[in-house]
Structure 1
Amino acid sequence: MKLAGASSRRARGVLAAGARWYVAQTHPRSEQLGQSHLERQNFRCFIPRFQTTRRQARRSVTVMAPLFPGYIFVEFCPTRDRWQSINGTVGIKHLVGASQGRPTPMPASAMNAIFERCDGDEVKSLVPDLRVGDQIRITGGPFSDQLAAIESLDHHGRVRVLLDILGRATRVEVPLRSVSPA
């Protein structure tokens, strides 16, 4: 998401006076729709995205996917802005954490951590910096929680590792998203 008309300073999380970031839940796959309708109402929105590959028509396609599917961040001042209209916006289900007639803001430290990991609206990297020979832990699949050594990395999101199975080193390919540093 590009912050429409926002300077890079505002894109980094500098808020207007009295404004805070809040979370709005969207209808399934309606983040873009909700964002465009909220921006028409002069709310500032933020949808962090990351680059991923998906299978489509027997091909791998690189797409930008939301980091938090079904949620968008909305900036407003609850005493100044007409925030109740957010709940009736096309694509939006409701504000998250609304209690006692007011929505609950996101902690500033959490938003700052998200902004630090993003370049504009794109997450810098979700993949840990891995090298051949590094020890990793497999986090998903049939070899979950196993330790292994990286044998090779490829550009298609796969890692070839050496796993110790029955006292013998065995080569296994696993998705890059299923490994973490040991």
Structure 2
Amino acid sequence: MNWYVVYTKPKWEKKVAEQLSKSGIECYCPTIIQIKQWSDRKKKVEVPLFNSYIFVRLDDKDRNVIFQSAGVVRYLFWLGKPAIVKDDEIHVIKKWLDAPEKFDVSVDNIKVGDTITVDSGPFATQKATVQEINNNHYLLVLESMGCVLKIKYN
């Protein structure tokens, strides 16, 4: 069984994941807590990490089952085939979201363009390219995951 990326209607990620789970399909909608501000108050709100995307795990022959759920638009494709996400990439996302807020990071003699291996935190063992070094942060490109990691320091 493979993990596939499903594109949903905007703001339907959690609803689609709940519907698919109820119908027995293994799915994952990573969420984070954000503080939203209204004119009269601030509130912590759980929002999807990836807008309009969820992950489903099923056999290739069962891929059409998800279209029975309202809110599903299509699969994400890569090179003409449905995009498949590796189990270890899903595991890294889960590990990152479950990790504590603060990490100890030390960077010694690293310059822009260097390729490094992250040695601690939720992205441990991931290879990254240093894109920017600033007064209070580093930008690392994690090519295997297709994302940019911003590490702040004081």
Distance 1:95 1:50 in 2: 23
Task: State the AA in 2 paired with 1:39.
Answer: S
Distance 1:99 1:87 in 2: 22
Deviates more, 1:68-77 or 1:88-97: 88-97
Greater C-alpha Rg: 1
1:20-169 to structure 2, matched below 5 A, reads: 20-79=2-61, 82-97=62-77, 103-119=82-98, 124-125=99-100, 128-129=102-103, 147=135
1:103–1:58 Cα change, 3 Å: same
The answer to whether the Cα contact below 8 Å between 1:37 and 1:89 also exists between their aligned partners in 2 is yes
Task: State the AA in 1 paired with 2:25.
Answer: F
RMSD in angstroms over aligned alpha carbons? 3.1
The SS at the match of 1:117 is helix
The answer to whether the Cα contact below 8 Å between 2:29 and 2:48 also exists between their aligned partners in 1 is yes
Distance 1:57 1:181 in 2: 31
The answer to whether the Cα contact below 8 Å between 1:86 and 1:95 also exists between their aligned partners in 2 is no
Q: Does 1:181 align with 2:146?
A: no
- 1:100-126 CA distance string (max 9 Å, x none): 6x633112332221122233xxxx35x
Distance 2:11 2:41 in 1: 22
Distance 2:151 2:88 in 1: 27
- 1:117-166 CA distance string (max 9 Å, x none): 233xxxx35x5548xxxxxxxxxxxxxx85259xxxxxxxxxxxxxxxxx
Q: CA deviation at 1:25?
A: 0.8
Specify every segment of 5 or more residues in structure 1 that has no aligned partner in the other structure, as ranges: 1-18, 131-144, 150-177
> What TM-score do the two structures reach when normalised by structure 2?
0.61
Distance 1:20 1:90 in 2: 22
The SS at the match of 2:82 is coil
Distance 2:103 2:54 in 1: 28
The answer to whether the Cα contact below 8 Å between 1:86 and 1:94 also exists between their aligned partners in 2 is no
Q: CA deviation at 1:30?
A: 0.5
Q: How many residues in Structure 1 have an aligned counterpart in Structure 2?
A: 116
Specify every segment of 5 or more residues in structure 2 that has no aligned partner in the other structure, as ranges: 105-132, 138-149
